[in-house]
């Protein structure tokens, strides 16, 4: 955790742009070219970048700390930006130079360059080698790639996988990342440029990766204490995953974009001096945690082709927010979050233009409900504001789930109920799906932190109906109601496959819920889960357990017990019986009751009127039945998670493979991790060590526990 005082009053991340020359002189002269305004020339402390006459009149001017144009050399970037960082590395700090931008925006050209025209990493190395020689220090390098949430050491001949381990004090250990001593620039170039030919990890042209070079400085000879590290990172290029003509699979684009957002979120949090920095959002940010935090400085270079492109525009937009995050005295997280939400919604006509999803007439109804719920949220929910500022660049189009066909119109809605119980926070997600004939809902109790972020996303969705329909530019699209034109059906289905785990109620006359998820090997899995039917399926499962003793892992048995307890809690006598086939569904007034009586924030976006069966919710919901339910839910969730982790820490490989989402590879890796540390899984976040994203972790638990309700 960053302490406020540590970085008070200074920016940890300096954000500059680098313009790639135009390949088309006609375009350069046209309105489609970007223009840079430097109020004090080279001495400008901030510069504005805009996109020419095409967008004049709109607010499409973005502030950054500086912008290096085509005529400004890499040598100038070295002198003005990187030399101060080199000094700090020799003083024992870490520093980072990160190039991000759209695809083909010149990132590799800038960082690595070519043998004929070396990039800034090579220029920096030359500078550091000469400093090290003067001081009698040593230099060594590591080169890594991050692809599909896995880190590879590419100086190792077998492209070894690097384990990102977190020590007791949160110190990151990159186990398996080799450091090769370098004495001359030609040695370094042989190493760096030689990789291109023989050791590129991503030999699959459909996979993309982030590539980093870490230059380590060691005091005196190699065995003496280490000083600082200079880390150059050439990020994979951003690309809108809805592009139809991309040579990269949408899933891969989405994965890359997700890790770009994760890094941007970290940059923003660092610059805005937030108390929580979301390092755990991706493997890349986890591995670089030590390099990025504390007194370490980062130079973020946004690479921009001179010609306008939508993807570059988007990257610039986000870079500018990171930059502004550091300039503003942001003492009020709510203010910040509001500003961001506003600027996302108003930032440009282009964003809206890019959003081809028509809003169906059914969505009109959500405005009413949204209005009232949002208002209530403003009134009640002040405690979550600090969390809200955090998630700047969400999964955007990465989590859009859309579905439409001519026969059945579906819509989804998600409500998030947040409640604080004594010291621990419990977040209960109420997933509601409705179809023409009815409604189904399910409760899922999840950990407070991640769900609070979801809640934030949802909040933004309410604030603007336009934004709710803009998957490319809002973090909220995934949680709002989506109804799209059939022409986008194909795209939306891909999204659906990619970004699980959502619940559909296809047909209100059945009691089936379809869960679309992704298994260990990234193939799409679909399951039809029957919603709770008074223990019928549990009995079936119990019988089969008795019949076949080897059929179920012990975890299932333990979770089964928890499930039974949960079911007994779910049937308090004060509640009238639920409708035949579905779980609890709350009406709007019930939701308001909930908020009014128990310090709970309720948010909802509903695109068709919820024809909730009339049922009595206790009006004194703040009193004991609700509290009892919440407390038990919390305990149950913790126990279930505890059991799950215990199982991961103890079960043998064969048993591990019985878990959803754990295949041969992951089971082997878990067993290996246990050899390194006897209890590698202390909390759910530790599952990221086996290559699972936060969403996947939730999905696995949901499935494992949902299974009990068969």
Ligand X SMILES: Nc1ncnc2c1ncn2[C@@H]1O[C@H](COP(=O)(O)OP(=O)(O)OP(=O)(O)O)[C@@H](O)[C@H]1O
Nearer to ligand X, 73 or 275 (CB): 73
Whether the link from the prior residue into 667 is cis, omega within 30° of 0, is no
**Rounded to the nearest whole angstrom, what is the least distance from the CB of residue 103 to ligand X in the complex?**
4
First-to-last C-alpha distance (Å) of the chain: 42
**107 known ligand binder:** yes
Q: How far is the CB of 117 from ligand X (least distance, A)?
A: 8
Q: Nearest approach, Cβ of 115 to ligand X (angstroms)?
A: 13
Sign of torsion over alpha carbons 24, 29, 30, 31: positive
Complex with ligand X: residue 7 or 309, whichever CB lies closer: 309
Alpha carbons 132 and 62: distance in angstroms, whole number: 39
Query: How does strand 411-421 pair with strand 210-218?
Result: unpaired
Least Å distance between CB 199 and ligand X?
A: 17
Cα–Cα distance, 113 to 100 (Å, whole number): 15
Instruction: Closer to ligand X by CB, 234 or 686: give it.
Output: 234
How far apart are the C-alpha atoms of 49 and 55, rounded to whole Å?
12
- Toward ligand X, which CB reaches closer, 55 or 238? 238
The Cα 356–Cα 354 span in angstroms is 6
Q: Which is nearer to ligand X, 235 or 392 (CB)?
A: 235
Residues 219 and 548: their CA atoms lie apart, in Å, by 63
Q: Which residues of 446-482 are buried (b: 16+ CB within 10 A; e: fewer)?
A: bbbbbbbbbbbbbbbbbbbbebbbbbbbbbbbbbbbb
Separation between Cα atoms, residue 454 and residue 388, nearest integer Å: 9
Cis peptide before 501 (omega within 30 of 0): yes
Cα dihedral 41, 44, 49, 50 sign: negative
Rounded to the nearest whole angstrom, what is the least distance from the CB of residue 32 to ligand X in the complex?
18
Residue recorded with tokens 């998670």: 641
Give the CA count within 13 Å in the CB-facing half-sphere of 225.
5
User: What's the CA gap between 148 and 208, in Å, rounded?
Assistant: 8
Q: 3-class SS at 659?
A: coil
Q: Is 106 annotated as a binding residue?
A: yes
User: CA–CA separation, 233 vs 679, rounded Å?
Assistant: 32
* Residue with the shortest CB distance to ligand X: 237
Question: Tokens at residue 308, please?
Answer: 């306008």
101 annotated as ligand-binding = yes
User: Given the complex with ligand X, which of 120 and 602 has the nearer CB atom?
Assistant: 120
> In the complex with ligand X, which residue's Cβ is closer, 121 or 636?
121
How many residues appear in the chain?
710
Q: Which is nearer to ligand X, 304 or 673 (CB)?
A: 304
| CA 124/CA 128 separation, integer angstroms | 6
CA-to-CA distance for 32 and 55, rounded, in angstroms? 9
CB neighbours of 262 closer than 8 A, spacing ≥ 6? 278, 281, 282, 284, 285
Neighbour tally for 513: CB within 10 Å: 23
The whole-angstrom separation of Cα 414 and Cα 504 is: 12
Q: Cα separation of 261 and 220, whole Å?
A: 39
Q: How far is the CB of 237 from ligand X (least distance, A)?
A: 3
Cβ 693 to ligand X shortest distance, Å = 22
CB of 318 to ligand X, least distance (A): 16
Q: Minimum distance from CB of 278 to ligand X (Å)?
A: 24
Interface ranges with ligand X (CB under 6 A): 20-21, 101, 103-109, 237, 303
Contact at 8 Å (CB) between 517 and 693? no
21 versus 84: smaller Cβ distance to ligand X: 21
Is 103 one of the annotated binding-site residues?
A: yes
Q: Which two tokens stand for residue 370?
A: 């949204």
104: annotated binding-site residue?
yes
Min dist. Cβ of residue 235 to ligand X (A): 8
The residue (of 311 and 447) whose beta carbon lies closer to ligand X is: 311
Q: How far is the CB of 401 from ligand X (least distance, A)?
A: 27
**Which residue, 106 or 118, is less far from ligand X as judged by CB?**
106
Shortest gap between Cβ of 245 and ligand X (angstroms)?
A: 15
Q: Is 461 helix (H, G, I), strand (E, B) or coil?
A: helix
Annotated binding site for ATP: 101-108
Annotated binding site: 101-108
């Amino acid at each position: 955790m960053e302490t406020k005082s540590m970085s008070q009053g200074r920016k940890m991340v300096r954000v500059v742009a680098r313009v790639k020359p135009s390949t088309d002189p006609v375009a350069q002269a046209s309105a489609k070219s970007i223009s840079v305004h430097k109020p004090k020339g080279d001495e400008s402390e901030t510069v504005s970048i805009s996109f020419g006459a095409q967008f004049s009149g709109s607010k499409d001017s973005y502030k950054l700390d500086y912008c290096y144009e085509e005529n400004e050399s890499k040598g100038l970037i070295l002198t003005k930006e990187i030399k101060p960082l080199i000094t700090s590395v020799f003083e024992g700090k870490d520093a980072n130079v990160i190039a991000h931008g759209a695809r083909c925006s010149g990132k590799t050209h800038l960082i690595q360059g070519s043998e004929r025209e070396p990039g800034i990493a090579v220029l920096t190395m030359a500078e550091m080698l000469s400093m090290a020689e003067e001081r009698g220090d040593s230099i060594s390098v590591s080169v890594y790639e991050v692809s599909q949430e896995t880190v590879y050491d590419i100086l190792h001949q077998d492209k070894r996988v690097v384990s990102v381990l977190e020590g007791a004090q949160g110190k990151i250990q990159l186990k398996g990342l080799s450091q090769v001593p370098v004495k001359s620039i030609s040695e370094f170039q042989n190493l760096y440029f030689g990789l291109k030919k023989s050791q590129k990890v991503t030999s699959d042209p459909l996979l993309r990766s982030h590539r980093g070079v870490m230059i380590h400085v060691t005091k005196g000879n190699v065995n003496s204490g280490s000083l600082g590290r200079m880390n150059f990172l050439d990020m994979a290029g951003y690309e809108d995953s809805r592009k139809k003509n991309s040579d990269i699979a949408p899933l891969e684009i989405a994965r890359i974009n997700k890790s770009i957002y994760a890094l941007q979120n970290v940059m923003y949090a660092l610059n805005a001096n937030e108390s929580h920095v979301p390092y755990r959002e991706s493997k890349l940010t986890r591995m670089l945690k030590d390099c990025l935090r504390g007194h370490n400085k980062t130079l973020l270079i946004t690479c921009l082709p001179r010609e306008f492109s939508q993807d570059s525009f988007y990257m610039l937009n986000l870079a500018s927010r990171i930059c502004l995050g550091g300039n503003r005295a942001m003492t009020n997280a709510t203010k910040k979050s509001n500003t961001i939400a506003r600027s996302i919604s108003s930032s440009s006509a282009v964003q809206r233009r890019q959003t081809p999803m028509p809003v169906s007439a059914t969505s009109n109804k959500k405005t009413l409900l949204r209005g009232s719920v949002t208002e209530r949220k403003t009134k009640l929910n002040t405690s979550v504001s600090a969390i809200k500022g955090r998630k700047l660049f969400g999964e955007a189009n990465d989590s859009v789930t859309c579905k439409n066909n001519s026969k059945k119109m579906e819509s989804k809605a998600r409500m998030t109920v947040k409640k604080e119980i004594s010291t621990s926070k419990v977040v209960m997600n109420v997933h509601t799906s409705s179809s023409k004939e009815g409604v189904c809902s399910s409760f899922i109790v999840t950990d407070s932190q991640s769900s609070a972020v979801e809640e934030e996303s949802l909040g933004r969705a309410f604030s603007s109906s336009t934004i709710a329909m803009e998957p490319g530019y809002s973090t909220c699209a995934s949680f709002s109601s989506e109804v799209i034109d059939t022409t986008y059906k194909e795209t939306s289905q891909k999204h659906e496959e990619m970004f699980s785990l959502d619940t559909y109620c296809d047909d209100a006359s059945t009691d089936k819920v379809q869960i679309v998820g992704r298994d260990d090997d990234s193939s799409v899995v679909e399951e039809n889960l029957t919603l709770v039917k008074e223990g019928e399926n549990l009995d079936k499962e119990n019988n089969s357990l008795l019949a076949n003793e080897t059929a179920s892992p012990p975890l299932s048995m333990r979770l089964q017990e928890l499930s039974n307890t949960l079911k007994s809690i779910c049937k308090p006598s004060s509640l009238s019986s639920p409708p035949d086939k579905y779980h609890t569904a709350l009406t709007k007034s019930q939701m308001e009751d909930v908020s009014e009586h128990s310090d709970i924030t309720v948010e909802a976006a509903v695109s068709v009127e919820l024809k909730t069966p009339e049922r009595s919710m206790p009006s004194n919901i703040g009193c004991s039945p609700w509290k009892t339910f919440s407390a038990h839910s919390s305990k149950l969730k913790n126990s279930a998670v505890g059991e799950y982790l215990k199982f991961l820490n103890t079960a043998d490989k064969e048993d591990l493979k019985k878990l959803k989402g754990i295949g041969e590879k992951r089971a082997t890796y878990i067993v290996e991790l246990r050899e390194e540390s006897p209890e590698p899984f202390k909390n759910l976040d530790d599952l990221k060590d086996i290559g699972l994203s936060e969403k996947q972790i939730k999905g696995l638990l949901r499935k494992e526990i949902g299974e009990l309700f068969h």
